[in-house]
Structure 1
Amino acid sequence: MAEHAASEGTSPPMLEVDDLVKSFGGLRAIDHASLSVAPNTITGLIGPNGAGKTTLFNIITGYIPPDSGRVRFRGDDITNLPAHKIFLKGLCRTFQIPREHPSMTVLENLMLVPPHQSGEFVLAAIFRPGKVRTEEARIRQQALEVLEFLNLTHIKDEYAGKLSGGQKKLLELGRILMAEPAMVLLDEPGAGVNRTLMQRITDNISYMQRERGITFLLIEHDMDLVMNLCDPVIVMSEGAKLMEGPPEVVRNDPRVLEAYLGGQYAAAEG
């Protein structure tokens, strides 16, 4: 389990969400939501369908604008920045349904990630081909090392669209490693994944937090995964934060047991 950062009380938050509001027609999806994520933690975000979790992710990462409120990342106001500029600041996300490039190989999907590659520019390709080749070789080697770490080397030349759901989730983690972010928002990394691959995914998340210093905020409905991987856990309800705390506190809170865990842990405790 990720340890709650000892310096949480003194270090500034990695991510701050301040009084966000977002409505779609007459439906208020985010209702004055405020929360923060400490650096070098794996923070869980739980709540029932319709609680506003994915909408919150979409606002934080620039896919939709808020009606009001602010988002700060490493102290910088990123409210209303386009998604690609937020990515360049070191804040990445995954999606519940992976968004791989299906007609490209697994290796090519990884090599596409690093920004500002020389080969993207026509003049560089014409006048500085040596630089382009050297850079491409370096990125390819980095991608091969990522694939080895994820145990995906054997499918490096497979088209990404042909992978299983679990393999696509691992590929998304590989793309995260290629981006070298400071923080990642994970939208249901366990959805549609068998237990064997799920264990590999959670082990990789723990490794990236522990060894690479990457901060994670993840939405997940698998409560066993959340309780074993995340600390702290934030609970959302009706577009706002209901509570936050260590997993053992959240799992025993009567409001959470009743509304989100369906009593399964209460039954186990009893």
Structure 2
Amino acid sequence: MQHETANQHAGARPPVLEVRDLRKKFGGLRALDGCSLSVEEGTITGLIGPNGAGKTTLFNAITGFFRPDSGRVLTDGHDITSLPPHRVFRRGICRTFQIPREHGTMTVLENLMLVAPDQAGERFWNCWFRPGLVRRQEREIRDRAMEVLEFVDLARLSDEYAGRLSGGQKKLLELARTLMARPRLVLLDEPAAGVNRTLMKKLAENIEYLRRERGITFLLIEHDMDLVMHLCDPVIVMSEGRHLMQGHPEDVRSDPRVLEAYLGGQYGARDGGGNGGRHGAA
């Protein structure tokens, strides 16, 4: 599926996300080694690469969970490199995790209501002196949460404990939680992992709808090449902590550098050569 970027004709507007020469070491391991890339507004950009390429470390550096050793992260031209996660979140950048991090002892609905920003009830004096405001806002948040659950087809499970959901349902819940924050950019870490084909199709449809109708930009890490080829344009390839190439899905799939990154010496050394069949479609 080929997408026309929303800012294709917008002149010199800066990218919604730009990473410049990002470096991060853990002991002797260079997880990011001068990584530079950009994500244009209104795209669904795929981020692929063999295990150990630095993809999740990059997500952690962008969202403030890791502080890079050097380099810069910018959104709309503004430097956010040193911001903690909660301030990156307030900039409209949200992420999901490869392993969902739901609050298992809270209901599905409560998981969503918790995310809504700037809640008056978070300030205890409002509960005493402005209870009407708190109640009114809570009703509004609840109504919005139910709308989001309807969108991801989880409304029937609104009163179920989140910890009891299936793996695929938890991935949909992760997406729903990001939507409660009204994001501009969503970083998805392997949204298809552990998801059956029916739920994966629903997830892909939701992502495409949100890009097209709500103008949300997506950057997603994914190993399922069928999903990448169907959903993403452009596709960025990482290898050994660096940006290897970027292009349309078909061009990336047939590029010799990509085949070498997945099937060559680096992949065999890091993964013991045992997982090549999983990634060989790239």
Calculate the TM-score normalised by the size of structure 2.
Answer: 0.91
Contact 1:15 1:72 in 2 (8 A): yes
Aligned-partner Cα distance in 2 for 1:265–1:121: 52
Task: Return the match for 1:44 from 43, 46, 63.
Answer: 46
Q: Please report how far the alpha carbon of residue 257 of structure 1 lies from its aligned counterpart in structure 2 after TM superposition.
A: 2.9
Task: Return the match for 1:223 from 219, 225, 234.
Answer: 225
Give the letter for the 2:205 counterpart.
Answer: D
Give the letter for the 1:182 counterpart.
Answer: R
Aligned-partner Cα distance in 2 for 1:172–1:203: 15
Unpaired segments of 5 or more residues in structure 2?
264-275
Aligned partner of 1:206 in structure 2 is 208
- 1:88-99 correspondence runs (5 A): 88-99=90-101
Aligned partner of 1:26 in structure 2 is 28
Aligned partner of 2:271 in structure 1 is none
Whether 1:5 and 2:21 are equivalent positions in the alignment is no
Aligned partner of 1:119 in structure 2 is 121
Give the letter for the 2:96 counterpart.
Answer: T
Contact 2:262 2:280 in 1 (8 A): no
- 1:1-270 correspondence runs (5 A): 1=1, 3-5=3-5, 7-8=7-8, 10=11, 11-260=13-262, 265=281
* Superposed structure 1 runs of 4+ greater than 6 Å apart: none
Q: Please report how far the alpha carbon of residue 61 of structure 1 lies from its aligned counterpart in structure 2 after TM superposition.
A: 0.2
Q: Please report how far the alpha carbon of residue 151 of structure 1 lies from its aligned counterpart in structure 2 after TM superposition.
A: 1.2
Aligned-partner Cα distance in 2 for 1:190–1:265: 16
Q: From the superposition, tell whether residues 139 and 221 of structure 1 become closer, same or farther in structure 2 (CA, over 3 Å).
A: same
Unpaired segments of 5 or more residues in structure 1?
none
Give aligned pairs, total.
Answer: 266
Q: What's the secondary structure of 1:32's corresponding residue?
A: strand
Aligned residues with identical type, % of pairs:
68
Q: Please report how far the alpha carbon of residue 176 of structure 1 lies from its aligned counterpart in structure 2 after TM superposition.
A: 1.4
Aligned-partner Cα distance in 1 for 2:176–2:211: 14
* Superimposed CA distance per residue, residues 110-166 of structure 1 (whole angstroms, 9 cap, x where no aligned partner): 111111201111100011110000000000000111111111111000000110000
Q: What's the secondary structure of 2:41's corresponding residue?
A: coil
Aligned-partner Cα distance in 2 for 1:89–1:224: 32
Q: Please report how far the alpha carbon of residue 258 of structure 1 lies from its aligned counterpart in structure 2 after TM superposition.
A: 3.9
Contact 1:46 1:219 in 2 (8 A): yes
Q: Please report how far the alpha carbon of residue 4 of structure 1 lies from its aligned counterpart in structure 2 after TM superposition.
A: 3.6
Aligned-partner Cα distance in 1 for 2:82–2:227: 32
Q: What's the secondary structure of 2:254's corresponding residue?
A: coil
Q: Please report how far the alpha carbon of residue 171 of structure 1 lies from its aligned counterpart in structure 2 after TM superposition.
A: 0.6
Aligned-partner Cα distance in 2 for 1:60–1:218: 13
Q: From the superposition, tell whether residues 171 and 265 of structure 1 become closer, same or farther in structure 2 (CA, over 3 Å).
A: closer
Contact 1:2 1:206 in 2 (8 A): no
| Alpha-carbon RMSD | 1.5
Calculate the TM-score normalised by the size of structure 1.
Answer: 0.95
